[in-house]
Amino acid sequence: MTAQTTAVVSPAAPSVLPAVRRGGLAAVLGLTGTLLVLLVMASLPYVVDNGVTTQLVKLCYLIALASMWNLLAGYAGMVSMGQQAFIGLGAYTLFVVNDHGINVYAGTLVVSAVVALIAWPVSYIAFRLRGGYFAVGTWVIAEVVRLIVVRFDSLGAASGRNITTITAEPVLRQAYTYWLALAVMAAALLGTYLALRSRLGLDLQAIRDDETAAGSLGVNVTRGKRIIYIAAAGGCAAAGAVICVNSLGVASPSQIFGVQYTALMIFMVVIGGIGTVEGPVIGALVYFLLDKYFAQSGVWYLVVIGAAAIAVSLYLPRGLWGTLAHRTGFAIFPVTHKVLQTTRRDEA
């Protein structure tokens, strides 16, 4: 005799939907505080001498570069070793647009858009690789780009090139350069924050955690990664243009296309906290201070940089800001979602 089990179906319980809040008061305060800081920084050329703003130009483009690499690796899971390709392209494309009569300051926006367009077909090559092969492949792409650029005599070939069309007085030129760097930094930070608060941000974090699972849930993995790859290329190109304007040109193609830029990005993101909007800012500030006070110390400079990286990796693997955020839940740029309560579907 076979026992049979009868499933008793109870009346369907009303479905519930979670009420979700993103950021709330913390987001408002974070954005308000950030805007106030940016306004104060924008007024600095009127109240401090050129020496201060000259140093801050470097801090601004370091933050922009670190934010772009964090967007790639920290949120999309793409560990690139070749972002210097787009930094160098940004600097050299600025020469091209300037030769066509576009001011170098306004030309930075054009440069960012042009290099982003170049990154689109490049992504089809890079995305054929995965993991460590992707990292090595992006570095190879950067070297190929450098070899192509140095073949053009109009761009200075292997000797580099200077910007000769800036006619503004030195004081005014430095102020314009500082405001340009500040604008690029602000765009990188706020653009990253807004992207992460969108549907794309959710897709990116799912892709970072598990591409296969994200794809099975309907996330267009390739599309999301390509958008971020192109956006990061445009951001790095804008930073490259700032470097070029600040130095009044490119002294050496090997320097502007050097892998040291990507190494700096990785250092700043690891120190500050990968996968957080605030981490690259903290990491860039730490590197900026170390470079300012120890750069003239010869070999001890490298010792201090290495010791800082080792200490953070061993004792604070989440990074400085990442550890603080994990322990306290505090965030200046909150991108997480909080479930407040449940709501009946028929009431929603």
DSSP 241: H
CA 159 to chain centre: 29
Q: How many C-beta atoms surround the C-beta of residue 210 within 10 A?
A: 12
Question: How confident is the model at residue 272, as a pLDDT?
Answer: 93
Alpha-carbon distance of 150 to 306, in angstroms, equals 33
Is the Cβ–Cβ distance between 232 and 83 less than 8 Å? Answer: yes
Sheet strands (E) in the chain: 16-21, 161-162, 249-250, 338-344
DSSP 305: H
Is the Cβ–Cβ distance between 63 and 188 less than 8 Å? Answer: yes
Alpha-carbon distance of 88 to 83, in angstroms, equals 9
Spell out the per-residue pLDDT of the chain, length 348, in tens.
444 444 444 444 445 556 555 556 666 777 788 889 999 999 999 998 888 999 999 999 999 999 999 999 988 889 999 999 999 999 999 999 988 888 899 999 999 999 999 999 999 999 998 888 999 999 999 999 999 999 988 888 788 888 877 766 778 889 999 999 999 999 999 999 888 888 888 888 888 878 888 888 888 888 989 999 999 999 999 999 999 999 888 878 889 999 999 999 999 999 999 988 999 999 999 999 999 888 887 778 888 888 888 898 888 889 999 898 888 878 888 776 565 555 444 444
Alpha-carbon distance of 62 to 83, in angstroms, equals 13
Question: How confident is the model at residue 10, as a pLDDT?
Answer: 45
- Phi, psi (rounded to 5 degrees) for 345: -60, -35
Number of C-alpha atoms within 13 angstroms, CB side, residue 136? 5
What tokens appear for 106 in the block? 């306004």
Q: How many C-beta atoms surround the C-beta of residue 54 within 10 A?
A: 13
**Cα separations in angstroms, 176 against 97, 103, 146, 171, 308:** 18, 12, 29, 9, 34
Of the chain, the end-to-end C-alpha distance in Å amounts to 50
DSSP 66: H
> Treating both helix axes as pointing N-terminal to C-terminal, what angle do 279-294 and 320-328 enclose, rounded to 10 degrees?
140
**Cα separations in angstroms, 91 against 53, 84, 137, 238, 247:** 21, 11, 22, 8, 10
Alpha-carbon distance of 252 to 60, in angstroms, equals 22
What SS3 class is residue 221? helix
Whole-structure pTM value? 0.87
Q: What residues have CB less than 8 Å from 184, skipping those under 6 apart? A: 60, 61, 64, 108, 235, 238, 239, 241, 242
Q: Is the dihedral of CA 109, 110, 111, 114 positive or negative?
A: positive
